[in-house]
Structure 1
Amino acid sequence: MKPAEHVAAFGTTDGELRVGGMPLTRLAARVGSTPFFAYDRAQLDARVERLRAALPQRVELSFAMKANPMPAIVQHLARRVDRIDVASGLEMQAALDTEIRPERVSFAGPGKTPAEIRQAVAAGIIVEIESTTELRRVLAAGDDLGMTPRVAIRVNPDFAVKGSGMRMGGGPQQFGIDAEQVPDVLREYAGSGMDLLGFHVFAGSQNLNAEIIAEAQRRTVDLVTDLAAGLAGPLRYLNLGGGFGIPYTERDRPLDLDAVAASLHNLVDGQIAQRFPEASPVIELGRYLVGESGVYVTRVVDRKVSRGKTFLVVDGGMHHQLAASGNFGQAIRRNYPLVVGNRADAAGDQGVNVVGCLCTPLDLLGDDVELPPADIDDLIVIFQAGAYGLTASPTAFLGHPVPAEVLV
C-alpha cells in the first residue's frame, strides 16, 4: 500500500493528517512534545467489527497483548474481544486488571519462570505448555496451592507455513511440544491432577496470503483431530493461532480476510462442529488488531545536504520504532509508509533520507523517500506503527527520553 492510501484511511483537515479525528499539529500540541505514538480508537473498533462480520459467530477473538501492551489499548480491547493472550508476568497482571475473566486469559511463550507459573495457576488462567519441564512446574504449583491447574498444550506442528514473516512452527522450535511427542506426553501425564482443556497451534506470523493461512488452519484442525484422541475428556479449547498480516511496504497487498473467513466457515461448520462440539475455536491476533491503528510522529530537527543527498534528521528513531528501521526481522530493508504529516496531501517531489538521532547508520527510517519539501519543525509520520513499536524497540540506547503514547 502507498502512503496516500494510509493518509486516506486516517483522513485530513486542511492538508494535515488526522488521528482520532484531530488535526496532527493540534494533537502534537496536546501531547506536548515529540516523538510520540498515537493510536486511533475508531480504527481499533472498525477492525474488530470487520472481523466479527467476516468470521464465523462461533469463533472467539483473542488479543495477543505482546503486539501492544499500552494499558489504554488493553483496556479498550478487553471490552471488545473474547480473550487475551499474555507472554509474561507483567502482561498477565495487565490482563487480570481488565474485565476479561481470568479463565479467558491464556499464558503462552517459552521460558516461563516458576514464579510466573505459580502466579498463573493461582489466578486460574490457562497455562499453554511449551515443554514437559513447564508441565511438571505447573503440576507442582497446583499441588502446592491446592488447586487444579487449567492447561493447554502448545503444539509445534509437523508442518511449516510458507510466507510468514516469522515462522513459529515446523522443524526444531523453542515453541511448543513437537506434535509427534504429544501422544506420549498425554499418556504419561494422564490423571496427574490438571484440567487439560485442549491445544494451541501457532505456525507463523505476518502472513498476507489468504490461501496459505486457510491451508494452515485446515492442517491444524486435522492435527488436533488426531491428537484429541489421546484426551481423557472432550476437547474444550482449540486455539488455531492467527498470523494475519498487515501491509508494511508499497509492494504488500492487504490480506483477503473474506477468503480466510470463507474457508474458516467450512471448517467450523464441518469438521470442528462434528468432532469438537464443546470447543469454541479461538483466533489469536495481535498485529492485525492494532497495527494499522497507530502512527509514530517525530519532528525534523535538522536538514542537511551531504554530497548531493538530503537528510532530514528527526528527534525520534529506531530506539522507539525499531521495525521501521528494518532491524526487527526484515530480510531486505524496505520503507514503511511515511509522510510529512502537516502537509499530508502534498505530492512528493524529491528523494530524501529520513534518519534518527542515534549514533549509528542503522537509524534509518526512510531511505530515498519521495516527500514534499520539508524543513525543521515539520512532522514526519510513520504509519503501521500500532504493533511491535515502542515495547519492541531499544528505548534505553543512548539515553533519549521515552516517547509518549496516546489513544485518541
Structure 2
Amino acid sequence: MALTIEHKKRLERVIKRLDSSFFFYDLDHLKSRLTYMDSVKDPDVKLWYACKANPLSSILKIFRNLNFGIDVASQGELNQVLQAGVEPEDILSTGPSKARNYLRSMINNEVNVVVLESLNQAYWLSEIAGELGARPKVLLRVQLDWDEGSSVLGGDAITPFGLDQKEWLKLDFEKTKNLDFQGFHVFQWGNILDLSRLETIWDKISKEMVELAKTMKIPLNILDLGGGLGICYEKGDSPLDFKDVSVTLTKIKEKHGLKKVWMELGRYAVGTCGHYLTQVIDRKTVRGKEILVTDGGINHIARPALVDQDFPCEMFRDSDAEKSSFQVHGPLCTAIDKLGTFQLPNDINEGDWLVFSQTGAYGFTEAMPFFLCHNLPAEVVLYNGDLMTPRPIKTSTDWLV
C-alpha cells in the first residue's frame, strides 16, 4: 500500500508532534483487504490471523470484528487476544514451547483448538484435561521431509516444530483418552509469491496427511496448512490475489477429499497496511559510499538483519533530484544495524524522513528495542478516517530500573 497525498498531509502533523520514529497502520486498508479475502474464500476454508505478525490490540479488533480466528503462540499473546475481546472459540494455539502451566491455562480459558508439537505435550494435555474434566480439540503438528532449501520456518531443516510421521506413530492412545483429535497441522515455508509452488507444497502435505490419518486411525476433520503467502518486498514482485489462492485451496481440498482446510495468515493479511517512519540524523561518505544514519534501526525493525531482506524504502518528502545509492544504518553500536541499500534523491539530508513500507507485519515486536536505551517507537493507526496514537513514544525512563 502506497502512501496517498492525504496520508502524507496527516502524517506530517504526526511527525511534528512526535519528533521520533513511529509505525503507521492504515486499518481502513486492512479492513478492506480482509473483507475481500472473506468474500472470495471457499466456505470450507477457515482463515486465522497469526498474531505474532503484529499483536497490536487495534489490529486484533479488526480481525475480531470480521470473524477471523486468531492464532496465538504464547501466554502473552493469549492474554493480549483475550483482552482484545476475542472469544475463546475463535482462538487457535500454536508454537513449539508449551509447558504444563500454559496447557492448563489454555483449558481454563477454553481455547478452541490446541496444536500439539510433541508426545509430551499430548500426554500432558490429556492428563490436565482429565483433572479439569475437559476434552480439548487438538491438531498434531507434523514436520515433513523436503527436497528444497531452507526457510524462516525450517524448510528442509530440522526444527522444533512438531514431529515427523515416524515419531507420531509412537503416540500411546491409552495416555491421550481425554483428547479430541481433529487432524494435522503442517507449516514449513514462509513468504512465497509463486502460487504454483504453494500448490505443490499443499499437495504434498495433503497427500501425506491423508495417509497418516489412515495409519494412525484418527479423523482428518481439519488440515491446517499454516500460511506462507508472501507480500512484495522487491521491485518487480507480483502480488498474490487471494481469489487465485482460494481457487487453488479448493482444488487441493477436492483432490484429496478434505473436509476443512485452515490457513493461518500473518504477513499476507496485515503486512501491506503498515509503514515505519524514521528521521535521517546524519549523512556522510565513507570509503566512497554514501551513508545515512537514522533515528531508528533494528532496535525498531529488525527483519533486515534477521533474514537479509530489506523493507522497501523511499524519502518521505517529494523531490525531483536525481537518485543515488545510499546505505541506511540505524543508531546502534553494531554493524548489523543496517536497514538496506536504496536509491534515494541526492538532496536527502539531515532532518529528512524515510518511510519503509510493508511493515505491518514483523515490525516492532520482532525487533530488539532495549539495546542502547533509545526511544521505543510510537504506533499510529488510521481507522474510519480517524488518526489515533494507541501507543505514544516511550523513553528509557519508562522502562529502565
Give the structure-2-normalised TM-score: 0.87
Equivalent in 132, 139, 143 of residue 145 of structure 1: 132
Q: Which amino acid aligns with 2:380?
A: V
Pairs within 5 Å for 1:155-304: 155-159=142-146, 162=148, 165-168=151-154, 170=156, 172-185=158-171, 188-189=173-174, 192-229=177-214, 234-250=219-235, 252-255=237-240, 257-272=242-257, 276=259, 280-304=260-284
Specify the SS of the correspondent of 2:131.
helix
Q: Which amino acid aligns with 1:360?
A: T
Contact 1:341 1:379 in 2 (8 A): yes
Contact 2:47 2:264 in 1 (8 A): yes
Whole-angstrom distance in 2 between the partners of 1:373 and 1:226: 62
Contact 1:127 1:150 in 2 (8 A): yes
Q: Which runs of 5+ in 2 are unaligned?
A: 383-401
Is 2:65 aligned against 1:85?
no
Change (3 A) 1:57 1:149: closer
| 1:384 to partner: Cα distance | 1.3
Whole-angstrom distance in 2 between the partners of 1:163 and 1:260: 23
Whole-angstrom distance in 1 between the partners of 2:215 and 2:38: 33
Aligned sequence identity (%) = 31
Whole-angstrom distance in 2 between the partners of 1:95 and 1:254: 29
Whole-angstrom distance in 2 between the partners of 1:212 and 1:199: 21
Instruction: State the partner residue of 2:15.
Output: 28
Deviates more, 1:347-356 or 1:387-396: 347-356
Q: Which amino acid aligns with 1:207?
A: I
Measured against aligned partners, the alpha-carbon deviations of 1:228-253 in whole angstroms (never above 9, x if no partner) come to: 22566643332121100112122533
Q: CA RMSD in A?
A: 2.4
Contact 1:164 1:207 in 2 (8 A): no
| 1:269 to partner: Cα distance | 4.2
| 1:369 to partner: Cα distance | 2.8
Is 2:8 aligned against 1:48?
no
Is 2:347 aligned against 1:373?
yes
Instruction: State the partner residue of 2:397.
Output: none
Contact 1:82 1:100 in 2 (8 A): no
User: How many residue pairs align between the two structures?
Assistant: 381
Equivalent in 358, 362, 365 of residue 336 of structure 2: 362
Instruction: State the partner residue of 1:3.
Output: none
Q: Which amino acid aligns with 2:104?
A: R
Q: Which amino acid aligns with 2:381?
A: L
Is 2:91 aligned against 1:105?
yes
Instruction: State the partner residue of 2:391.
Output: none
Change (3 A) 1:337 1:191: closer
Instruction: State the partner residue of 2:298.
Output: 318
Contact 2:273 2:360 in 1 (8 A): yes
Whole-angstrom distance in 2 between the partners of 1:28 and 1:315: 13
Equivalent in 285, 307, 315 of residue 340 of structure 1: 315
Q: Which runs of 4+ in 1 moved over 6 A?
A: none
Is 2:82 aligned against 1:96?
yes
Q: Which runs of 5+ in 1 are unaligned?
A: 1-5
Change (3 A) 1:373 1:110: same
